[in-house]
Chains A and B, each alone.
Chain A
C-alpha cells in the first residue's frame, strides 16, 4: 500500500477538562473517499478539524503529503488550507452579502487570483454542478439545496488535493442530499481529489470507499467479513 496522503497519529485534544480525542489514529489514501462516522459528540468533527489544520492537537502528529502539519506556524497552515484543501460544511456557510459566483470565487481571490480570472473559473463550476443561471443571486436568496451545491463548488474550485466535508448533506432532505453526494463524489473522482467525509448518515457513508468509526475520541477501522450464507 502507498504512503497515506493524510495521517493522524495518536491524536489527543481536550476542550478545557473535556477530552474530545484520546489517541485517534487515522490514515487516508490518495484518491480515496473515506467516511468518518460515529455518534454525536464522539469527536469526529474535531478529528476532521485536526487533520485539516483548523485545530492543533494537544499531542500526536498530523502528516499531509509527508509533511508534518501540526507543528507548522499558523500562516503556513493557513496557506496550506487555502491552496491544497477544500471545505464543505453542513450549512454551507456562504457569505450572504456576496453573489453565488463571488462565493465560489472566494478561495481563488484569497489565494491571490485576479478577480476576472477567478470569476471565470468559478462559472465553470456552475455548469458542472447544475447551477446554471444562479451565479448572480445573493447567497441568502438560494434554496438549501442550491446553497449547498454552491458551497460544494467553492470547496472544489481550487481543485484541492483533499476535500474535507463535515456533514455536507446534514441540512438537506433525502433527494437533495443524494444530488449533492452524487455531484461531490463524481467531481472528486474525476479530479482524483481525496475526500474525508464526516457523516452520521449511513446512506451518505455508502458513497465512500471505506468507513471508520470514531467512538470516545478513538478511531475504529472496520473490515468487511464475508456474510454467512
Chain B
C-alpha cells in the first residue's frame, strides 16, 4: 500500500491538515481515483498511533476545528527506507515507482539513485530468468520469456523517467 507512505511523504514537505493532504494526494497520485476522506483520517490515525506523525496545534476558524499533522523523525526514516528499497516485480510496480519518483523529487532526494537501484534489481531478476530459460523445458522457457518482456517494459519506463527527471522535478515543485 502506498497511501500511508505517500501521506508521510507529503507531510515531510510541511505539516498539513487532512483536507489539504487529501487534495494534494489526489493531485499527484489520485489519477482519477480520489482518496476517500474516511481513508485519509483512518490512515492518519494509524500513523499517529504508530508514532509516525503527531497532531500539532488545533486551528479554530469559521468551520470545524482543524488538526495539523506533523511528521516525526520516525516517519521521515520510514520514507527514507521505503524510497531506498527496490520493489519486487509485480503488476502494480509502476504505481509504486511513480509515487517513489514524485516523493523523491518533492523532498529533493536523489530520484535517479532510486531508479538505478530498481533498475539493478530488475536486471538481476532478468539474469536469473535468462539463465532459467537456457536450461529449462520449453514451457518454462516460455514463461520465463513472458516475465522477461514484462521486466523489460518496466525498465523502458525507468529509462524514460530517468530521461525526464528534470522536467518532472519542475512540475512537482511548481
Interface of A toward B, CB cutoff 8 Å: 39, 182, 201-203, 205-208, 211, 213, 215, 220, 222-229
Indicate whether A213 sits within 8 Å of B116 (C-beta atoms), given known contacts A227-B121, A229-B88: yes
Q: How large is the interface on B (under 10, 10 to 19, 20 to 34, 35 or more residues)?
A: 20 to 34
Contacts of B127 in A (CB 8 A): 206-208
Interface of B toward A, CB cutoff 8 Å: 84-88, 116-117, 119-124, 126-127, 129-130, 134, 148, 151-152, 155-156, 159, 162-163
**Structural contact, A206 and B88, CB atoms closer than 8 A:** no
Give the one of B87, B126, B129, B163 with max A CB within 10 A: B126
Interface residues of A: mostly helix, strand, loop or mixed? loop
**Structural contact, B119 and A203, CB atoms closer than 8 A:** no
Counting residue pairs across A and B whose Cβ atoms lie within 8 Å, the total is: 61
**Structural contact, A222 and B88, CB atoms closer than 8 A:** no
Question: How far apart are the CA atoms of A201 and B156 in the complex, in Å?
Answer: 9
**Structural contact, B126 and A203, CB atoms closer than 8 A:** yes
> What are 7 A-B contacts defined by CB distance under 8 Å?
A211-B120, A220-B116, A222-B116, A227-B88, A227-B121, A228-B85, A228-B88
Contacts of B124 in A (CB 8 A): 224
Contacts of B156 in A (CB 8 A): 202
| A201, A202, A213, A228: the one within 8 Å of B86 (CB) | A228
Indicate whether A39 sits within 8 Å of B88 (C-beta atoms), given known contacts A202-B123, A224-B124: no
**Structural contact, B134 and A182, CB atoms closer than 8 A:** yes
Give the one of A206, A213, A222 with max B CB within 10 A: A206
